[in-house]
Amino acid sequence: MLRSLQGLVCRSLKLDHGCALHTAARGGLSSVSSQDVPAENLRAVFHTSESDPAKHTEQHEGRLYNIPLEEVKAVFPHGLPYRFQQQIQTFNEARVMVRKPALELLAYLKGSNFAHPAVRYVIYGERGTGKTMTLCHVVHYCSRQGWLVLHIPDAHLWVKNCKELLQSSYKKDRLDQPLQASVWLKNFKSSNERFLQEIKTQKKYMWGKQESTEEGRPLGEVVEQGLARVRSASDAVGVVLREIKQQSHRGSFRLLVAVDGVNALWGRTSLRKEDKSPVSPEELTLVHNLRKMVRNDWSGGAIVTTLSQTGSLFKPSSAYTPQELLGKEGFDALDPFVPIPVPNYSPGEFESCYGYYLERKWLQHEKAHTEDGKAELRFLSGSNPRQLDRLAGPL
Partner 1 sequence: MASEKPLGSCPAYSYHTLLWDTLRLICTTTAVQRKNAGASGPEKYTEAFIKKQIEEFNLGKRHLANMMGEDPETFTQEDIDRAIAYLFPSGLFDKQARPLMKHPTEVFPEQRKIQWGEDGRPFHFLFYTGKQSYYSLMHFPNMTKSVSLLLTYIINLAGSRWLTKIELEEMLVEKMSDDDYSRFIRLLEKLVALPCADLEEKYIQKFSKEVPAQLQKVLIEPLQYDERGVAFSTGEGRRKTASATAVVYDNGTGKITVNGIDILHYFPVLQDREQLLFPFQFLGRIGKHDMVCTVSGGGRSAQAGAIRLASAKALRSFVTEKEVEFMRQAGLLTVDPRVKERKKPGQEGPRRKFTWKKR
Find out whether the peptide bond into 336 is cis, omega within 30 degrees of 0. yes
Cβ-in-10-Å burial (0-12, 13-18, 19+) of 117 comes to middle
Residue 380 CB, shortest distance to partner 1, in Å, is 5
Give the count of residues interacting with partner 1 (CB under 8 A): 11
Cα–Cα distance list, 3 to 10, 44, 297, 362, 386 (Å): 10, 31, 49, 12, 16
SS3 breakdown of the chain: % helix, strand, coil, rounded to 5?
50, 15, 35
Instruction: Yes or no: say if 293 and 257 are a contact pair by the CB < 8 Å rule.
Output: yes
Residue 384 CB, shortest distance to partner 1, in Å, is 6
- For residue 332, the tally of other CB atoms under 10 A from its CB is 10
| Cβ closest to partner 1, residue 37 vs residue 380 | 380
Considering only 74, 179, 338, 391, the residue that binds partner 1 (CB under 8 A) is 391
The contacts of residue 103 (CB under 8 Å, 6+ apart) are: 56, 57, 58, 61
| Cβ closest to partner 1, residue 313 vs residue 380 | 380
Query: Footprint of partner 1 on residues 298-357 (CB under 8 A)?
Result: 318
Instruction: Yes or no: say if 97 and 64 are a contact pair by the CB < 8 Å rule.
Output: yes
Residue 22 CB, shortest distance to partner 1, in Å, is 22
Considering only 378, 385, 393, 395, the residue that binds partner 1 (CB under 8 A) is 378
Residue 350 CB, shortest distance to partner 1, in Å, is 11
Query: Which span sits near partner 1 by CB under 8 A: 74-82, 174-182, 263-271, 376-384?
Result: 376-384
Residue 12 CB, shortest distance to partner 1, in Å, is 16
Helix axes 347-359, 37-46, angle to 10 degrees: 150
Residue 375 binds partner 1 (CB under 8 A): yes
Considering only 315, 379, 385, 389, the residue that binds partner 1 (CB under 8 A) is 379
Query: Which span sits near partner 1 by CB under 8 A: 48-56, 294-302, 348-356, 381-389?
Result: 381-389
Within 217-345, strands assigned E span 255-260, 301-306, 338-341
Residue 372 binds partner 1 (CB under 8 A): yes
| Cβ closest to partner 1, residue 36 vs residue 376 | 376
Give the phi and the psi of residue 257 in degrees, each rounded to 5: -100, 110
Question: Which residues contact partner 1 by CB under 8 A?
Answer: 318, 372, 375-376, 378-380, 382, 384, 387, 391
